[in-house]
Structure 1
Amino acid sequence: MKKQISTEAILLLEDGTVYKGKSLGRLGTSGGELCFNTGMTGYQEIFTDPSYFGQMVVTTVSHVGNYGVQHQEVESDRIQISGLVCKDFSHHFSRKTAEGSLQDYFEKAGVVGICEIDTRALVRHIRDKGAMNAIVSSEITDLDELRKKLAEVPSMAGLELSSKVSTSATYEHTLEDPKFRVAVLDLGVKQNSLHNFLKRGCEVKVFPYNTSFEEMEQWNPDGYFISNGPGDPAATTFAVDSVKQILQKEKPLFGICMGHQMLAQANGIATYKMHNGHRGLNHPVKNLLTGLCEITSQNHGFVVDAEQLRNHPEVEVTHINLNDNTIEGIRMKNKPAFSVQYHPESSPGPHDSEYLFDNFVALLEAYKIK
């Protein structure tokens, strides 16, 4: 394994805060919205999660890269983050089954990052001040020049990004004897969501983000899955129209994360940007239907408006976050449609919430009998 020579790097935050450390990945300059993830493991799944497109991730775990990378642990066909900020970056890895180092993986993908900074102080800062844009550079040392480049980084509020990560062409995962057919509207789908359908006997056909309901319906699916994805849900209006038509058809619908927000907007319920999003593997959520708590994997910076939900005649709350009481799940009272804000595909994370895929399959069975 080649010896890595680190160079100086600078992290500049939108509020003027500066951190100095060492470079990781490719030498260069990159900007995006700065957010932190509290997960202890699963860094490759996080870095390839399309919902992180346009964001620079701060990891709260001390060591990153220590178990290398494997192709089977990706959630999409490329790294999606705009940069990495961490405490200790491991250029060497100890896992025998690893296919390479994280450093080489980042270099090939052109990812820029910074390490050897006080990430505890950084996380406390953005936790108190709120999510903000930042820029990292291992090639520019002049702060005035970095400020100019940082000013060019767009705000996440009002930003539509599903078109940047969605598939450009329809594709299928078929089964020899499928129980059901699930049409997937790809707003930034994770591969493990598709695997969860396949292992339950559901073959899937994945459609680009702007596919019309009429085109998806031609495949004659038994139900629809609206995936997770990046950006501001209020700017993702093209998917709202598709969800409205699915609801009119009264076919089973399941939404995750962005898909959850699309279901809310299709019912006239707004979303808003959070002071700090939920990103990690240890978020407690209460299922109001069963009274049980589940530990969930989450990655979102926007949330559904609880006030507008409170007296909605057709939508009810099914899950709440026990840290801040934000809405984590909803279902329609008169249609076979439900959604959650978190990630039951559990990649990475605990498997407490995989039952939601079983609930959707039960809906498919009930609809088919009907």
Structure 2
Amino acid sequence: MPLSASPSSFDEINLRDWLNTQAIALGFDGLRVTDTHLGPATERLQAWLADGRHGQMEYMQRHADLRSNPELLVPGTVRVICVSMNYLPSETDFEQEWGRLEDPKQAVVSMYARGRDYHKVLRNRLQQFAQLIEERIGKLGYRVFTDSAPLMEVELARKAGLGWRGKHTLLLNRESGSTFFLGEILVDVPLPMDAEIEEHCGTCTSCMDVCPTQAITAPYQLDARRCISYLTIENPEAIPVEFRKAMGNRVYGCDDCQLICPWNKFAKRTEMPDFARRHGLGQATLLQLWSWTESEFEQRHEGSAIRRIGYSRWRRNLAVAMGNALAQDVERDAMVQALNAALPNSDPLVAEHIQWALGQQPV
């Protein structure tokens, strides 16, 4: 089909049914289509950046113009195909997750990061999907993305009707909660579009109330500088002292606002083997993960999103969690011994956090 085709040139009903069928066959759980106009979201992004709430995520500021206009990112784009993919393994139990957060010796890794790196999984399937679409409708200009380019993907997904924006700023869906990944295909063909859906958070503020660091400063307002996910993943420097105790035993990311959300009682489980837990990350203790050498960290996190933070940040996060365990007098002898043994050969970032951790022992 020529690129100049108008929307009426498509057999819209059959095409849409076909898109949905292909998406499901490729493992996606939702599909909607929108245009590139982001409206008021652009102004909100600029205000968020101006307030410095992005912390040290300089790429947010650097590519702000591209985020505001997908047509600048990929010239010729007129539609965005937005897809979602559930990531919770079948054995996930939210009560057990709460229980692990209350057990100081456990090492809690965010649920999305316990399997393979979702970037690779989604990108490969999006590429396959785009090629199938081209085979179906003819020559297609496209690019695929999943949290890998300056795109306001949550806003695009909201506009497309994949869900609504929760007060924690994540996307929510009545049928699957918020435990899904997002991906996009930017195309230069005017596919039929979908409508936005109604919000369903009402007066609930559970996500705001439960946040350990009060990073959700107002409904729909997140200060990344306070968020444990930012502090343990994106932040390259020391964890600010004022947030260390609130981190508890969270060593990579934080799920509290999702665990508490009433809509996640509908969170769907996935059968995708890529997202199954690896290397015991759903049950590991702090001491078990602390015992990993750098080569073991690299090998065990091969193909994982965790690997990109590097061994030093990983140890930094573990040291804070071990300090919080020591403050509760949990496994004191073993933890003190492990921390002291590592101190002489640690880089300055890790050493500072080890010293802080050792200082948390009850007098």
Return the TM-score normalized by structure 1: 0.27
TM-score of the two chains, using structure 2 as the length reference: 0.28
Greater helix share, 1 or 2?
Answer: 2
Which of structures 1 and 2 has the bigger CA Rg? Answer: 2
